[in-house]
Amino acid sequence: MAYKTCPNCGFQNLEDAVFCIRCGEKLEKLMDETIREYEDKAVKLSNYSRSKNSKNLWIQEFRGYRILKQFPASGAEADTFLIERDDKQFFLKLYRQGMEPKIEVLQKVKSISQKLHEHVVVVYDVGFDEETERYFEIMEYVQFGSLRDLIPYLHEQPDNLLKEMTERIVLELSEAINALHSEGIVHRDLKPSNVLVRSLEPLNLILTDFGISLQMNTDVSKIYASSFKGTPAYIAPEEISNYFGKEIDWWHLGIIVYELLLGKNPFAGTSEQVIVHRLVTRGVEIPQEIDERYETLLKGLLTRDRKKRWGYEQVRLWLMGKKDIPVYYSSQDEVSENNNASGSVPDLKDWIRAGFTEQSAKLWSKIGLTIEEALDFKEHFSYSEAISWINAGFRNAALARKWYDSGVSPEEAVIYENFGINQKDALYLINHGITAYDLQKAYSEGKISPENFSIVEISEYIDAGFNPFKESDKE
């Protein structure tokens, strides 16, 4: 594979690139200046800061390793590279300035990675590099990509092969999760992109990216953290309350299985606010097209009550073909059916006691909010104004009001929320001609995703006078 080096920032773009994806520099004059994948070239590092003190570093080597190439940016956390020493290739993760991983966890992962090499990417070195002023990890290079890359391929296969591969993946991941928990570590951010494919035949999957992992206390089921830092589309219900015990890794496995079977995340295209509301009110609904065996697995793993959720033992029994494993899953639909069967009728007295008139209680009680949520919306909006925000998926009235005051419509606000964009950054984009619908269009075309979207990188395009969402700028 050939790469085209940007003369402005040094980023290695794909051979057919016209503009640098990092800084927006035009590359048309570089058609004869491509470099081969492993040619020895220096790479420019940026701390991605727009302050006056920002600085760029050109590096050709890193701590005795030769840099072969830089991988395309996939997030705001780190830059990644293919490096080499003594004719052996390694993977370098260089955290961007200001990013401080839990180094004690990384050191523990390093110390046990040899012991758990069947299940965890082997980590050779971690620490802080004085020259680049960044934290780093050096680990084995896994050439077959991630489970995220494998999922589209699986959905091109016959249904029986898809299910067979899903079962093999469940086996691999359940053993990996159990091995990690046995060493006192909660991964905390399991998702397809953090599962690497060491080999395809036989299938060998390993876990990676322990940047936000946590060490469990003596009671390995209990751990609390100050805040949620994982990926919203995989969040377990208890993470909303900042509980991060080993049970969350099994919930994350359930979401991965859902994606394997259906080819998409259950919360795809949904804002974090809506995700939280769904988890609190009804959890993840299992589609009817899922066959009984896999429906049981999903219900076991996606049980909202963490104490009753399936763990290693239940998954192991499922893999053995057992059919009588207790499942405690419940959805809002099932709750509603039970209520209807018992003849229960919504009582407006509690709404009236909370300060609603009888007429307003009838209105607000029918739109799916709790009394507390309705009171909050009532404080910030009229009923007719609130409806549009609630229908768009908002359950936090204060957040909805911030978007309202910014002059953004509910539909646009949901798109910005889906990409993790706040009001200030949304207005920055709007003022530079990039709308929410531009983002949505790019997402629908597979060009961007909430997982790898970076407002910093987009601002670098804009500073270079280039709008990456306008076709005219790409010509």
CATH topology of domain 38-140: Phosphorylase Kinase; domain 1 (3.30.200)
Instruction: Collapse the DSSP code of 6 into the 3-class scheme (helix H, G, I; strand E, B; otherwise coil) and give the result.
Output: coil
Q: How far apart are alpha carbons 356 and 351 in whole angstroms?
A: 6
Q: Which residues contact 473 (CB under 8 A, 6 or more apart)?
A: 19, 466, 467
Beta strands in 6-101 (DSSP E): 12-14, 34-36, 43-46, 56-59, 61-62, 65-70, 78-85, 88-95
By the 10 Å C-beta count (0-12 exposed, 13-18 middle, 19+ buried), 145 is classed as exposed
Count the alpha carbons within 13 Å of 204 in the hemisphere toward its beta carbon. Answer: 13
Residue 287 clears pLDDT 80, i.e. is over it: yes
- Provide the β-strand partners of residue 59: 43
Q: Are the beta carbons of 369 and 393 closer than 8 angstroms?
A: no
Q: Are the beta carbons of 424 and 416 closer than 8 angstroms?
A: no
Banded model confidence at residue 473, pLDDT cuts 50, 70, 90: low
Segment 51-84, tens digit of pLDDT = 333 344 567 899 999 999 988 766 567 888 999 9
Instruction: Please tell me the CATH code under which domain 147-332 is placed.
Output: 1.10.510.10
Tokens of 398: 């204060």
Handedness of CA 187, 193, 199, 203 (dihedral sign): positive
Q: Average of pLDDT values for 313-317?
A: 97
Which run of H or of E encompasses 393?
none
Q: Are the beta carbons of 232 and 272 closer than 8 angstroms?
A: yes
Instruction: Count CB neighbours of 129 within 10 A.
Output: 14
The percentage of the chain sitting over the pLDDT mark of 70, rounded to a whole number, equals 78
Tokens of 6: 């940007």
Summary mean pLDDT of the chain? 79
Q: How far apart are alpha carbons 454 and 184 in whole angstroms?
A: 33
User: Amino acid identity, residue 472?
Assistant: S
Topology match between the domains 38-140 and 147-332: no
Task: State residue 70's pLDDT score.
Answer: 87
Residue 367 clears pLDDT 90, i.e. is over it: no
Segment 112-132, tens digit of pLDDT = 888 889 999 999 999 999 988
- What values do phi and psi take at 96, rounded to 5? -70, 155
Question: First and final CA of the chain: distance in angstroms?
Answer: 24
Instruction: Collapse the DSSP code of 267 into the 3-class scheme (helix H, G, I; strand E, B; otherwise coil) and give the result.
Output: coil
By the 10 Å C-beta count (0-12 exposed, 13-18 middle, 19+ buried), 353 is classed as exposed
Q: Fill in the DSSP letter of residue 235.
A: -
pTM passes above 0.85: no
Asked, as a colleague might, if the bond just before 450 is cis with ω within 30 of 0, I would say no
Q: How far apart are alpha carbons 95 and 144 in whole angstroms?
A: 23
- Give which of 226, 230, 195 is closest to 211, Cα–Cα: 230
The region of weakest confidence among 70-74, 181-185, 208-212, 403-407 is 208-212
The region of weakest confidence among 8-12, 210-214, 265-269 is 210-214
CA 7 to chain centre: 32
Residue 48 clears pLDDT 60, i.e. is over it: no
Segment 140-162, tens digit of pLDDT = 999 888 999 999 999 999 999 99
Query: What b-and-e string marks burial along 72-95, b requiring 16 or more CB atoms within 10 Å of the CB?
Result: ebeeebbbbbbbeeeeeebbbbbb
CA 57 to chain centre: 29
Q: How far apart are alpha carbons 225 and 239 in whole angstroms?
A: 9
Handedness of CA 332, 333, 339, 343 (dihedral sign): positive
Distances 145 to 83, 101, 164, 452 between C-alpha atoms, Å:
16, 23, 20, 16
Task: State residue 291's pLDDT score.
Answer: 92
* Boundaries of every domain in the chain: 38-140, 147-332, 350-474
Query: What b-and-e string marks burial along 108-119, b requiring 16 or more CB atoms within 10 Å of the CB?
Result: bbbebbeebeeb
Q: Are the beta carbons of 240 and 229 closer than 8 angstroms?
A: no
Question: Count H helices, E strands: the chain?
Answer: 18, 15
Q: How far apart are alpha carbons 275 and 281 in whole angstroms?
A: 10
Residue 441 clears pLDDT 50, i.e. is over it: yes
Banded model confidence at residue 219, pLDDT cuts 50, 70, 90: very low
Residue 234 clears pLDDT 60, i.e. is over it: yes
